[in-house]
Structure 1
Amino acid sequence: MASAASDLLGAGLSSLGLDPCHKPALVEYLDLLQKWNKPFNLTAVRSKREMVIKHLLDSLSVMPNLELVRRVCDVGTGAGLPGIPLAIYLPDTHFVLLDSNGKKTRFLQQVANQLDLKNIEVVQDRVEKYHPQKCFDVVISRAFADLNRMCRVTHHLLSDDGRWFAMKSQTAESEISDLDLDFTVQKTVNLKVPFLNDARMLAIVKQGERNQ
């Protein structure tokens, strides 16, 4: 990684209050992402500076909300976001990275192998067809679908007391207001992503009254 991007990552981790001990793994992941991006079309973001901000730091901004969680499914994970950065920092949490795109899941398996991430399981499947043996404490996504659809199509993946974590822009207020009664927003958290001007938020959703 270029020195400027590496320095930016270090400053961002410090701003988020995260231990820099995992910075080398994040750097290695980003190097792999940039290497595989052109042939596999993993992300529209091309520069390493933008990848640091919009991918790594954005993904890690939800860390304080996941520290006690043990099983997470990252649906529509794409290039492994937010799953891989979170898995690097939460080695005791099991992450399933779910995506239907074979090129992307091959990339994810390469990352898991090269970084020796034992807490990652890569699954290539459509979310509607994926039925794990054990349900999840959290289903998380950055860009899988609007909030209502995300909850509807992943409902079978979540444990009874589980939560959906939807990482959104601040323009997602309309998605929250349109949410079906089957689902209830437990809280919203304003995410402070270092060096990012765009406002970001986390909507934490639980099963609503009709599902109790």
Structure 2
Amino acid sequence: MMSVTQRHAEELVLGARELGIELGALQQEQLLAYLGLLIKWNKAYNLTAVRDPDEMVSRHLLDSLSVVPYVELGGERWLDVGSGGGMPGIPLAIMFPERQFTLLDSNGKKTRFLTQVKLELKLANLEVVHSRVEAYRPPQPFDGISSRAFSSLEDFSNWTRHLGDAGTRWLAMKGVHPDDELQALPADFRLETTQVLRVPGCQGQRHLLILRRSV
């Protein structure tokens, strides 16, 4: 079985540095351990369409780390919606151990994997929730809500409206700039900013759209 190699470790450290991130020893160790679990479980659980471990560093780890500067801007409590294999939620939980991250997915196999990652990596700041997003009712609004290739901006906004308030930032990670989806944004949501993400080793376009609710 192919597992995490020294080459993967070097690609991670150098790619993170290119993003302006210096990984600590524990962060590097946890990110690579997560990659190892993803490779192992993906064979049986189909967690990601990316099958080649050599592509996972750039397309999963570095792609997730590319939004670190925008999570850094503030917010103690984060929700990763439709987290699937845990991107970007698990890398962000590793990078920000002082903040709380909730990973939500309706697929039981995927939440079992996420729970295993939480246990093996000892991520005390991580909560895994197996639920449909519409049915999820947390005790208070989240400061930030992220999604990566989860749904259209319209559905993302409508399905998560009840999980945030006027102080929440919605971070939608996209490929090509979704002009059509922006036209369909609900009336109570507005685009605060669009950021072009330059992910080392990733050929396709990557964009981050930060949304706010007006009420």
TM-score (norm: length of structure 2): 0.94
Q: Distance in 2 between matches of 1:115 and 1:18?
A: 21
Percent of residue pairs identical: 47
In the TM superposition, what is the alpha-carbon distance from 1:50 to its structure 2 partner? Answer: 0.8
Which residue in 1 is equivalent to 2:167?
161
**Deviation (angstroms), 1:3:** 2.2
Map of 2:15 onto structure 1:
12
* Contact residue 166 and residue 212 of structure 2 kept, 8 A: no
Cα distance in 2, alignment partners of residues 46 and 2 from structure 1:
16
The answer to whether 1:53 aligns with 2:58 is yes
Give, in whole Å, the separation in 2 of the partners of 1:33 and 1:163.
28
Correspondent of 1:87 among 81, 89, 93: 93
Residue 27 of structure 1 and its aligned partner are, at CA, apart by 0.4
Q: Map residues 129-168 of structure 1 onto 2, 5 A cutoff.
A: 129-168=135-174
Instruction: Indicate the SS of the match to 1:98.
Output: strand
Look up the match of 1:101.
107
For structure 2, which runs of at least 5 residues remain unmatched after alignment?
A: none
Contact 1:8/1:49 (<8 A) preserved? no
Deviation at 1:178, TM superposition (A): 2.5
Q: What is the alpha-carbon distance in structure 2 between the residues aligned to residue 197 and residue 43 of structure 1?
A: 18
What does 1:66-81 correspond to in 2, within 5 Å? 66-67=71-72, 68-81=74-87
1:37-80 CA deviation, whole Å, 9 max, x = no partner? 11111111112221101100001100001112211100000011
Partners of 1:5 and 1:48 in 2: CA distance: 9
State the match for 1:122 in structure 2.
128
Report the more deviating stretch, 190-199 or 100-109. 190-199
Q: What is the rounded CA distance, in whole Å, between the counterparts of 1:85 and 1:199 in structure 2?
A: 21
Q: Letter of the aligned partner of 2:43 in structure 1? A: K
Residues 139-176 of structure 1: CA deviation (Å, up to 9, x unaligned): 10002110011000110011331121100112312211
* Structure 1 CA distance for aligned equivalents of residues 131 and 183 of structure 2: 30
Following superposition, the deviation at residue 96 of structure 1 comes to 0.4
Deviation for aligned residue 1:2: 1.7
> In the aligned structure 2, how far is the partner of 1:63 from the partner of 1:18?
8
Q: Distance in 2 between matches of 1:134 and 1:7?
A: 40
Q: Which residue of 1 aligns with 2:35?
A: 30
Kindly indicate whether residue 201 of structure 2 is the aligned counterpart of residue 198 of structure 1: no
Aligned residues: 209
* Native 8 Å contact 1:73 1:140 kept in 2: yes
Which blocks of at least 5 consecutive residues in structure 1 are unaligned? none
How many angstroms apart in 1 are the aligned matches of 2:113 and 2:174? 25
Q: Which has the higher strand share?
A: 1
